[in-house]
């Protein structure tokens, strides 16, 4: 069996979880902005740029000014004891390693920005309820970003409306059609109907009416 790590993709609910990012460089700032919509984000560093202060003033994240090199292991444990995920991004590999080991002892998961650890953050694109994560198992962040841009050329905002339409029709079918196979077939007919996709780009209500009419015609 290959010794190379095989990373399994998961969707996690982070709404009540704490993500702590150590550092304030470009990588740390990018990670912070990525997690803002999903978790409680805290950045720890000696100083922060204007944009991070602005996000703090808007109550979108927490900033903690601290020189971690001067803190004891016990003090670091206290910083990380409530974290679900810790991202060491200080630019100092030895300090990053120390943070990782202490955070792990507290039960936190670690995203190591300079190696493939237990958690790799994918390149993410999102339209409404449709979320796509792209990862190369940490081997090429550039390729992940390139792939995301290519996918974005084909995945329009209409996909978010289609997700909404599918949810609405699925709930309707659960109440009106007992046959699960028939429900699945009808949902696929909506997905494969080009006219409904065109309507979604103009009006959700128009697309909904077309989906409802499609159901009547196939019942």
CB 132 within 8 Å of CB 151: yes
- Confidence check: pLDDT of 219 > 70: no
Q: Residue 22's domain spans which residues? A: 18-121
Q: Domain with 116 in it: what CATH number?
A: 3.40.50.720
- Confidence check: pLDDT of 106 > 50: yes
Same domain for 104 and 129: no
Same domain for 65 and 147: no
Cα–Cα distance, 114 to 110 (Å, whole number): 12
Which strand (E) or helix (H) includes residue 121?
A: none
pLDDT of 46-100, one tens digit each?
999 999 999 999 999 999 999 988 999 999 999 999 999 999 998 889 999 999 9
- Confidence check: pLDDT of 195 > 60: yes
Same domain for 95 and 32: yes
Cα–Cα distance, 75 to 130 (Å, whole number): 40
Does residue 8 sit within a domain?
no
Does residue 172 sit within a domain?
yes
How confident is residue 9, by pLDDT bands cut at 50, 70 and 90?
confident
pLDDT of 108-156, one tens digit each?
999 987 777 788 888 888 888 899 999 888 788 889 989 999 998 889 8
- Confidence check: pLDDT of 3 > 70: no
Does residue 46 sit within a domain?
yes
Does residue 143 sit within a domain?
yes
Same domain for 92 and 24: yes
Does residue 185 sit within a domain?
yes
Same domain for 144 and 103: no
Which strand (E) or helix (H) includes residue 155?
A: none
- Confidence check: pLDDT of 187 > 90: yes
Give me the pLDDT at residue 138, please: 76
Same domain for 114 and 30: yes
pLDDT over 90 for what percent of the chain? 64
Same domain for 96 and 38: yes
Cα–Cα distance, 40 to 125 (Å, whole number): 20
Does residue 6 sit within a domain?
no
Same domain for 66 and 143: no
For the chain, the domain total comes to 3
Same domain for 64 and 31: yes
Same domain for 113 and 31: yes
Beta bridge partners of 126: 131
Does residue 7 sit within a domain?
no
Q: What would the DSSP string read from start to end of 38-97?
A: TSEEEEEES---HHHHHHHHTTSSEEEE--GGGS-HHHHHHHHTT-SEEEE-SS-HHHHH
Cα–Cα distance, 136 to 120 (Å, whole number): 9
Last residue of a domain, one of 96, 121, 146: 121
Same domain for 126 and 83: no
Cα of 107 vs its chain's centroid, Å: 21
Does residue 3 sit within a domain?
no
3-state helix, strand, coil in the chain (%, to 5): 50, 15, 35
């Amino acid at each position: 069996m290959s010794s190379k790590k095989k990373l399994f993709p998961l969707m996690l609910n982070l709404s009540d979880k704490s993500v702590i990012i150590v550092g304030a460089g470009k990588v740390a700032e990018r990670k912070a902005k990525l997690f803002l919509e999903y978790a409680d984000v805290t950045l720890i560093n000696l100083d922060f740029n204007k944009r991070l202060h602005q996000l703090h003033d808007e109550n979108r994240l927490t900033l903690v000014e601290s020189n971690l090199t001067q803190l004891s292991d016990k003090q670091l444990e206290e910083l990380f004891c409530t974290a679900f995920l810790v991202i060491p991004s200080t630019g100092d590999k030895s300090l990053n390693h120390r943070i990782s080991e202490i955070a792990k002892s507290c039960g936190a998961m670690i995203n190591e920005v300079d190696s493939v650890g237990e958690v790799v953050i994918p390149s993410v694109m999102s339209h409404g309820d449709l979320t796509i994560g792209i990862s190369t198992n940490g081997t090429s962040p550039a390729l992940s970003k390139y792939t995301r841009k290519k996918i974005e050329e084909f995945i329009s905002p209409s996909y978010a409306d289609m997700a909404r339409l599918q949810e609405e029709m699925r709930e309707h079918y659960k109440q009106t059609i007992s046959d699960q196979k028939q429900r699945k077939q009808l949902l696929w007919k909506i997905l494969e109907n080009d006219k409904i996709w065109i309507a979604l780009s103009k009006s959700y209500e128009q697309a909904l009416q077309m989906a409802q009419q499609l159901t009547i015609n196939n019942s």
